Amino acid sequence: MVALKDADKEVVEIIEQERLRQESSLEMIPSENFTSRAVMEASGSVLTNKYSEGYAHRRYYGGNEHIDEVEDLAIARAKELFRVEHVNVQPYSGSPANLAVYLATCKPGDAFMGLNLLDGGHLTHGWKVSASALFYHSVPYHVRPDGYLDMEEVRRLALEHRPKLIWCGITAYTREVPFAEFAKIADEVGAYLVADIAHISGLVATGAHPSPVPHVHLVTTTSHKTLRGPRGGMIMVTKKGLEKDPDLAKKVDRAVFPGLQGGPHDHTTAALAVALKEALQPDFKVYIAQVVKNCQALGMAMAAKGITLVTGGSDNHMQLIDLTPFGKGKGLYVQEALDIAGITVNKNTVPGEPSSPFYPSGIRLGTPALTTRGMKEQEMEQIGGWIAEVIGLVKDFGMPDDKAERTEAITHFRKWLEGDARIREIREEVRALAGRFPLYPGLTYR
């Protein structure tokens, strides 16, 4: 068989260009990270060739004795890391894992609650275009004007709607999630409580964020964010969950397969097992502690330059910049300008969003990937200065409400962006900084 570099030079060149982009840029999207080479090797292994419908030791196909071993290993390591009773490691990612939770606990039309997308929640927690809202009755809760979760509203809505399930999970919320407070409300109305810790799983695993496990019935997570693993998902059932429903683990497993999926991605399961072993090592706890320190240092650096942060800062790995002091809908401008500067972030809604999810008024950014490269507080101060400077360069570009005027404004902005000399100077400064922190030394695909 022919190696990739000889079999498909076009694909190799695309992969190599992406490797160079990652090496020379600053990846600051908080849901992104860099896996170890060991995780990548497992993900690209011969396990991708196998088909393994079913669960370990009870498959629908033969020849799965080694697949069973690797799935058993991943489950055992996840149980040890998160201190849970049952783990399903087969979900293809976080969204399928969340959908399986609905299937295991709810009937179509049942009411459930989740944090509103524009307030920092996830699509699968009930946003109107998601399958979660199409098949179940979504009752969203929100944050207060100060950006913190409105727990009084959570309790009021729970008492009013008596939901079957309540999500406590985040994608753009920078403060500690009060799992114990959620548990009191869920127990009061008899709801299943599910913690979606996709963003903070690495923090939970190391104690940098309080664990939901003593308080909730189910936990879902991806494995590629702060856990620094492959692009997969997990569903965990806690002791409290089994006390509420002794069959809950079986219901979860049936929801994943055959309810939603066919054969698991065995190469991802192996890569997940590797990542979980890495997360069990003492140096992973040191890493996560530095992620949080870096995030706080980044926030202070930006705030010192006059940038407004939602809630004034962060308890975790991400910051949410509020651009509304400069006007509405400017997230697209800042994201694209920072992209040219070699700083990768994502536009994001802010609490009380005056525009829309497509043209939002905020920027979400975080420190997991930068910390993986070895950067610390000194580098965060420098990066925070660049971000503030780029925001200053583009803050006066308006985002009209009228569609035609908006298209014209964006076109004008992009033409300006092509010729701005300072942003390109920052790009070279960013390239120099990135060069001091090599990502995968010696790795090439050509």
Q: According to CATH, what is the number of the domain 282-435?
A: 3.90.1150.10
Instruction: Tell me the C-alpha distance between 219 and 98, whole Å.
Output: 9
Report the candidate in 133, 59, 86, 91 with the shortest Cα–Cα distance to residue 260.
Answer: 91
51, 55, 60, 445: which is the annotated catalytic residue? Answer: 51
Task: Report how far residue 343's alpha carbon sits from residue 321's, in angstroms, rounded to the nearest whole number.
Answer: 15
pLDDT for 323-361, tens place per residue? 999 999 999 999 999 999 999 999 999 999 999 889 999
The one catalytic residue in 35, 220, 222, 372 is 222
CB 216 within 8 A of CB 65: no
> How do the domains of the chain map onto residue ranges?
42-279, 282-435
The mean pLDDT of the chain is: 97
In the β-sheet with 346-348, what is the strand arrangement from edge to edge? 308-309, 318-322, 362-366, 346-348
pLDDT of 287 > 90? The answer is yes
Supply 216's token pair: 């909730």
**Element housing 76 (H / E):** helix 65-82
Per-residue CA distances from 276 to 38, 94, 287, 324 (Å): 12, 17, 14, 40
Which pLDDT score, from 0 to 100, does residue 250 have? Answer: 98
Residues 65, 5: Cα–Cα separation, whole Å: 32
Is position 13 annotated as part of the catalytic site?
no
Across the beta sheet with 192-196, the strand order is 86-88, 233-237, 218-222, 192-196, 165-169, 111-115, 137-141
pLDDT in tens, 81-118: 999 999 999 999 999 999 999 999 999 999 999 999 99
- In this prediction, residue 185 carries a pLDDT of 98
42-279 fold: Aspartate Aminotransferase; domain 2 (3.40.640)
How far the first Cα of the chain sits from its last, in Å, is 17
Residue 51: active-site member? yes
Average pLDDT over residues 162-191: 97
Tell me if residue 196 is catalytic. Answer: yes
Residue 401 phi/psi, 5-degree rounding, is -80, -35
Query: Distance (Å, rounded) from C-alpha 199 to C-alpha 207?
Result: 14
Q: Compute the distance between CA of residue 266 and CA of residue 71 in angstroms, rounded to an integer.
A: 8
Residue 365 has a pLDDT of 98
Cβ-contact 275, 227 below 8 angstroms: yes
Catalytic residue among 50, 83, 162, 231: 231
Cβ atoms of 331 and 359 within 8 Å: the answer is yes
Q: Quote the pLDDT of residue 446.
A: 86
Q: pLDDT (tens digit, 9 = 90+) per residue, 177-191?
A: 999 999 999 999 999
Helix (H) or strand (E) segment spanning residue 114:
strand 111-115
225 labelled catalytic? yes
Q: Is the dihedral of CA 216, 224, 363, 373 positive or negative?
A: positive
Estimate to the nearest angstrom the gap between the alpha carbon of 100 and the chain centroid. 18
- CA–CA separation, 341 vs 338, rounded Å? 5
pLDDT at 233: 98
Q: Which of 59, 77, 164, 225 is catalytic?
A: 225
**71, 89 Cβ separation under 8 angstroms:** yes
d(CA 390, CA 335): 10
- Asked about 231 being catalytic, the answer comes back as yes
Confirm whether pTM is higher than 0.85: yes
pLDDT of residue 1: 79
Answer yes or no: 71 catalytic. Answer: no
Q: How crowded is the C-beta side of 151, counted as CA atoms within 13 Å?
A: 13
Exactly one of 71, 119, 196, 379 is catalytic; name it. 196
pLDDT > 90 fraction of the chain, expressed in percent and rounded: 98
Euclidean distance between CA atoms 290 and 373, whole angstroms: 11
Which one of the listed residues 16, 23, 32, 53 is annotated catalytic?
A: 53
The answer to whether residues 234 and 223 touch, using CB atoms and an 8 Å cutoff, is yes
DSSP, collapsed to helix, strand or coil, labels residue 193 as strand
Tokens 């010192």 correspond to what residue? 304
